[in-house]
Structures are given as C-alpha cells and as structure tokens.
C-alpha cells in the first residue's frame, strides 16, 4: 500500500521541512524586529508603573498595525518584481 502524500511532484520531505524551517526563522525574526522597534518607540525608558499606560498601549497598537501594513506592501512589491522605495 502506497503512502498518501500531498507533496507536489518533484518535491521531497527534506525540501518541505527546509522551507518550513526557513519560514519559521523568518517569522521569529519578524516578531523580534517588530517587538524591539515598537518597544523602543512606545515604551518610556523610565518605568513608573508595572503595567503599560493607555498611551503606550495605543502607540504599540498603531506601531504593530503600521509595521504589518508596510511589511505586506513590501512583500507584494517584491513578489511583483518591483524594488521597494
């Protein structure tokens, strides 16, 4: 009985696992850059309270939203063969 695989012809498991590992590394790197950029921009360096303030929360929300928007635009431009500005 043959094993049921949903892999496209010409692609083996090692290639798929390699691509998945690269994608996971990319997502971790994206998250780390996002967290660092928004933290540095939005969180006061002198901690006055144990929780984020409403202003810091709003800033982080906007920062994350803009980060993903720009990341999506750049991804579309790269997939279309255009050079990001």
Q: Give the span between the Cα atoms of 85 and 82, in whole angstroms.
A: 9
Against a cut of 0.85, is the pTM above it? no
Query: What pLDDT was estimated at residue 1?
Result: 42
In the prediction, which pLDDT does 47 show?
Answer: 81
* Cβ-contact 41, 63 below 8 angstroms: yes
CB 71 within 8 A of CB 45: no
Q: Where are the domains of the chain?
A: 13-81
Euclidean distance between CA atoms 72 and 66, whole angstroms: 10
For every residue of 45-58, DSSP letters joined together read: SS--SSS--HHHHH
**CATH code at 13-81:** 1.10.287.810
**What's the average pLDDT block by block, 10 residues per block, for the chain (85 residues)?**
62 84 93 95 87 94 95 90 73
d(C-alpha 3, C-alpha 77), whole Å? 39
Q: What is the pLDDT of residue 48?
A: 82
């Amino acid at each position: 009985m043959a094993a049921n695989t949903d892999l496209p012809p010409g692609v083996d498991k090692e290639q798929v696992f390699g691509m998945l590992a690269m994608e996971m590394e990319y997502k971790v790197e994206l998250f780390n850059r996002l967290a660092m950029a928004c933290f540095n921009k939005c969180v006061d360096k002198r901690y006055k309270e144990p929780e984020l303030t409403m202003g810091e929360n709003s800033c982080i929300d906007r920062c994350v939203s803009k980060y993903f928007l720009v990341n999506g635009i750049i991804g579309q431009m790269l997939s279309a063969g255009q050079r990001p500005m």
